[in-house]
Structure 1
């Protein structure tokens, strides 16, 4: 992997690149994740394509979210990176990254395919905002991560105890810094669902089987799937929202299949 840097209006945006040939696969992580946490998936992709995993704002070595941060900021950042690449790409987004990818896809005409794993939209995690801001205001990163996992995602005390002992815990702590800004942005944003049926690139929606029909991720997924009647829906057996960390090989296998299906396509949207 090597790091690429982009400068948009004075803000540094970075990405990790796995070299390859052909159309790049661009990965947009969601909240509480970055290029580092997605390395197991990127490494497991059975593709010759270049793999570019973005470090969105708020994730070092990228710059901060900044004043006036919104979902529009993320969309414009992604447009900037894709314009700089000057290639047709396969675009994959997870969670908040899925929302960013789909919103961007309504405005682009050079995507080979669009893949989204459990995209989220408003209302999302608003009940976690107050305790999250309180913990961050005290500099209590452990407490902030606890809020995210217990209040927002609904994990049990037993799960949290195991997570605190896991080597991933110190990785999660700095990733909580931009979360209040991100949750505010998601809840302030009105997704362009009425335009999703006009996305002309092939669309794949991925869902963890354990989340189907359940709040918050399965309920949000239903709204996206209804707005995308043209999408192929892929369910990952025995998975929830965190397939990238709990089953990276399985997620990489499904992502590989989705990309290969359209890798040699002459589709130009």
Structure 2
């Protein structure tokens, strides 16, 4: 079943719902839409009522207000959490985790948050170099943008990209690819600061033991600022444990919210 909610700036945010139980809102990262949770959604839906969000600019949320800002994305997720009835368990991945960290400052509808590798460049560095960002902006088709992102931002080997290409969700990733450059712009400027100290809900961060160093560094930077936050390693996994080890990912989600 699909539903939608109107964010404060007038953008309509669509989401898919399934399962039964307490509300769990899932927020995808860059170069994806709600279908990125396909490998784990049935497992999660055995315990929760899932609300799988399409972030603005893709899927069920294509009609968006013109001025893009991470704060607006936070308002979007807050609106979905409130539409879900409050007392929400929020699980967010990558850029979606940045949106979720913003969202919990806009609403009291979230009771706990898992943030899986919210990105930020290593101090003095960059997620991708200016050449790669330029090639994304001049790419002839969305698939090329996506491939550059996976190869140069996430540091995925070619065999992992080919495995992703063979999945049913690849077309949705390609369709979302035009939003990648603007999100990378935000990530390259990202600074974790004292605003995170104001987060009052329990926060757990996931970090793949095989993830790029800049992502693991970013996880620990957030954990140091959010009161009471801790870090759980996803053993043997990088930035996409939900795809390559769905059992480990699901159990980690359950462990932070025991029945």
Q: Normalising by structure 1, what TM-score?
A: 0.84
Query: Deviation digits for residues 177-229 of structure 1, max 9, x if unmatched?
Result: 211122223334544x3132332221111111112xx4331122221122235
**Cα distance 1:110–1:7, how it changes in 2: closer, same or farther (>3 A)?**
closer
The separation in 1 between residues aligned to 2:166 and 2:196, in whole angstroms, is 41
**Cα distance 1:168–1:86, how it changes in 2: closer, same or farther (>3 A)?**
closer
The answer for the alignment partner of 1:267 in structure 2 is none
The separation in 2 between residues aligned to 1:162 and 1:11, in whole angstroms, is 34
The separation in 2 between residues aligned to 1:51 and 1:158, in whole angstroms, is 31
The separation in 1 between residues aligned to 2:166 and 2:88, in whole angstroms, is 38
The separation in 2 between residues aligned to 1:131 and 1:36, in whole angstroms, is 26
The answer for the alignment partner of 1:81 in structure 2 is 80
The answer for the alignment partner of 1:120 in structure 2 is 119
In the alignment, structure 1 segments of 5+ residues that lack a partner are 264-269
1:143 aligns with 2:144: yes
In the alignment, structure 2 segments of 5+ residues that lack a partner are none
Aligned residues of 2:85 and 2:109 also touching (Cα < 8 A): no
**Cα distance 1:61–1:89, how it changes in 2: closer, same or farther (>3 A)?**
same
Instruction: Select the structure with the greater relative contact order (CA < 8 A; seq sep ≥ 6).
Output: 1
**Residue pairs, 1:1-269, within 5 angstroms:** 2-8=1-7, 9-22=9-22, 24-45=23-44, 47-64=46-63, 66-121=65-120, 124-125=127-128, 127=130, 128-135=132-139, 138=140, 140-165=141-166, 167-191=168-192, 193-211=193-211, 214-228=212-226, 230-260=228-258
Aligned residues of 1:88 and 1:112 also touching (Cα < 8 A): yes
Secondary structure at the residue paired with 2:12? strand
How far did residue 55 of structure 1 move? Answer: 0.5
The aligned length equals: 253
Aligned Cα RMSD in Å?
2.3
